[in-house]
Amino acid sequence: MALFRSGEILQLSDIEIGEQLGKLRLELVRYNGKVAAGGATENPGQIRELRRNIARLLTEQNRRRAA
């Protein structure tokens, strides 16, 4: 999982943001599936970070669409 900060997101192109969103969403589905099946993740905070990264990318994507 890549940790994105706002400065790094600004340097990504629109296509790269879309690709990263797809990867992060897929990873989040895998983690949520593992938890729903009764398993434990190696790092419980990782789900929270995934959700935050997705939110950061979506925020930048929406900002670019509005501009």
pLDDT at position 39, please? 80
Please state, in angstroms and rounded to a whole number, the distance separating the CA atoms of residues 54 and 28. Answer: 9
- Domains of the chain listed by start with CATH number: 6-66 (1.10.287.310)
pLDDT at position 5, please? 85
Please state, in angstroms and rounded to a whole number, the distance separating the CA atoms of residues 31 and 42. Answer: 10
pTM of the model: 0.88
Q: Where are the beta strands (DSSP E) in 3-53?
A: none
Listed in sequence order, the residues at least 6 apart from 10 whose beta carbon sits closer than 8 Å to its beta carbon are: 60
Per-residue pLDDT of 8-67, as tens digits, reads 999 999 999 999 999 999 999 999 999 889 887 788 889 999 999 999 999 999 999 997
**Is the Cβ–Cβ distance between 67 and 14 less than 8 Å?**
no
